[in-house]
Amino acid sequence: MKKSLSKIAFLAVMSIALAACKKNGDNEKTVISAPLRVVGQPITGTTLPLKDAQGNAIPLKGTMLAGKTYDITGDVTVNAGDTLYIQPGVMIQVHGDGLTAASSPTFYVNGTLVSDGTKEAPNTFTVFETATVKKSVGFKDDVPNDPAFKGYWGGIQCGPTAKLLFLRWTRLEYLGAPWGSNAGDYGATAGDAKFGIYMNSGANSAGKLIVEDSWFYGSKDDCIGKCANIFVSIMRNTFIKTGGTGGEGVNFKDNVFGDMAYNLSFGGATNGLKTASVNGKSTIVNIYNNTLVQCGFRQTKATRNGSINTETNTGGYIYNNIVVNCKSGLRITYQSEKGKASDTLNTSYGNSLTCIGRGTPMGGTEQYMVFIEPGQFTLKRSTDLNGYVNGQILTTGSAAGTNIGTNTASDSLKYDPLFVNYDVKANSTGRNYRVSEIPAGTDFHLKTGSPAIGAGVYPGGTGKNAMPNKATAPLLAQYGFPMKVASTGGTFNPTITPPNKDLGAFPTDGSGNQHRY
């Protein structure tokens, strides 16, 4: 039989771990487990950071060991050229209160950080609970008091020399502590809430942000926020309670290239997934096979959307997504409060489903949901499943290419994706659609008969299922679908799941998001 996880942790620095022998008919075979990786020296002290003789924090490098709990009592720095590697099954407890930068530790990465959790032994970054620092238990729709939005610690902030941030099977919670005097070094202002993850390579060689099979729970503002000048692969993750009264699950800015796929975003303040560059700089991120539920309702400002949003000079292949009970479906922006037009030339989209629940005509004080926001570039494609009727496309003037379509009120339940355990109608009535906590037992897999089954583009598909090819789009041709740009060329490479014949993050073949709720 296999060694238990606790034994693996105890023998973490052994060169080889042997499992017991077992017979297979007349053949006896020995299973040899691969040794746990050690990068540099093991970190055996469990209260960090260590201090030098003058009381200054010593930068951290080496390997956090499987099975250990580490208490973080001050800011942690990983120097340029150094690596902090975290074996599977590590608990990191940050002693923070979210009141000031000094009392809310942050990980500052100028080199490489790899959290190498596994499905059987995930890693966790969370807050150390005290009498005054409480975790979120039983809060569903109470933003002012919910600890999920308190921002107890400062997350992971990557400087311009950071080469790689890789999170695999890792849970991050209670993000968003305030910036202090070093805010300007990260494009922020003192007092602003820190993003859970921030990475900007600036003029340096582009760093790599790879996040796989991980969970994000609770952030004061953006969870992965305003990253720029990097390559990305954001695959098979779950984002819950991202943003208090504003903020995105993922928010990429200029010169970002890569993929976001098979992610679940539930109860986000604004968008689950957003790209927004600046004039003169491009961002191309493929956004496919994601599931977004009950997002957009804590952001009261207009023109902020509520599920998937692309803005200034951003594009990519956007396919196979499911949007349910969100403020709005896909938005390819003509005009918004903070951004100008999306890069429509380098955008290709379709084969997605949007359902807004209710079961009664839209309208009234509780109904804010629409399939597509009129007056933008977004059109309903022939391969889409939603109740939008395209309007006349303007051909002249500054708004050329936009349309003022209409949302069909009677179609509010017509496009139910038939999740295994989530009642679209029940969760769209009263204030249920404003709940930001996933109810226990919810299952976003697709039932037999779901219209989302077999509705996606995928390699080898034909007709409506054929992989898109937009020959007129130079950047789409250059980067491909999916992309390979986040490959490190070394040990830590992303595991990219290609588009599936089913829509959403939980296809029926089991190849997508592996999380359960």
- The pLDDT tens digits of the residues spanning 150-194 come to 999 999 999 999 999 999 999 999 999 999 999 999 999 999 999
Report residue 193 as tokens.
């809430």
* Single-letter amino acid code for the residue at 169: W
CA distances, 2 to each of 11, 21, 135 (Å): 14, 9, 35
Q: Give the mean model confidence (pLDDT) for residues 73-102.
A: 98
The candidate with the shortest Cα–Cα distance to 402, out of 417, 392, 414, is: 392
pLDDT at 205: 83
Question: How confident is the model over 457-475, as a mean pLDDT?
Answer: 97
- Report residue 471 as tokens: 């020959």
The pLDDT score that the predictor gives to residue 95 is 98
Q: What is the pLDDT of residue 28?
A: 53
Is the link from the previous residue into 494 a cis peptide, with omega within 30 of 0?
A: no
CB burial of residue 434 (10 Å; 0-12, 13-18, 19+) = middle
Output DSSP code: residue 477: H
pLDDT tens-digit series, residues 12-60 = 434 334 334 444 444 555 556 678 999 999 999 999 999 999 999 999 9
Calculate Rg over the CA atoms of the chain.
Answer: 23
Beta strands in 250-335 (DSSP E): 250-252, 256-261, 264-266, 273-275, 283-288, 291-293, 308-310, 314-319, 322-324, 331-332
Mean pLDDT over 383-411 rounds to 94
Taking the CA atoms of 327, 255, 496 and 209 in sequence, report the sign of the dihedral they define.
Answer: negative
* Cα–Cα distances in angstroms (integers) from residue 486 to residues 31, 85, 163, 279, 490, in the given order: 33, 19, 11, 24, 11
What's the token pair of residue 347?
Answer: 């955008």
pLDDT band at 11 (very low <50, low <70, confident <90, very high): very low
pLDDT for residue 366? 63
Specify the pLDDT at position 403.
95
Whole-number pLDDT of residue 365: 62
Average pLDDT of every residue of the chain: 92
Cα–Cα nearest to 87, from 162, 172, 12, 157: 12
Amino acid 1: pLDDT: 40
pLDDT of residue 21: 40
- Neighbour-count burial for 345-365, b at 16+ CB within 10 Å, e otherwise: ebbbbbbbbbbbbbeeebeee
**φ, ψ of residue 352 in degrees (nearest 5):** -130, 160
What pTM did the predictor assign? Answer: 0.93
What is the predicted pLDDT for the residue at 336?
A: 79
Beta bridge partners of 209: 165, 232
Consecutive H or E run containing 446: strand 443-446
**For 483, phi and psi rounded to 5 degrees?**
-90, 165
Q: How far is CA 432 from CA 186, 209, 297, 368, in A?
A: 37, 34, 11, 13
Q: What was the pLDDT predicted at 512?
A: 98
Which single residue is written with the structure tokens 């009141």? 99
Sequence ranges of the domains in the chain: 2-479
- Report the DSSP beta bridge partners of residue 407: 388
Mean pLDDT of 448-470: 98
CA-based end-to-end distance of the chain = 29
Q: Residue 377 above 70 pLDDT? A: yes
- In the predicted model, is pLDDT for residue 244 greater than 70? yes
pLDDT for the residue numbered 517: 95
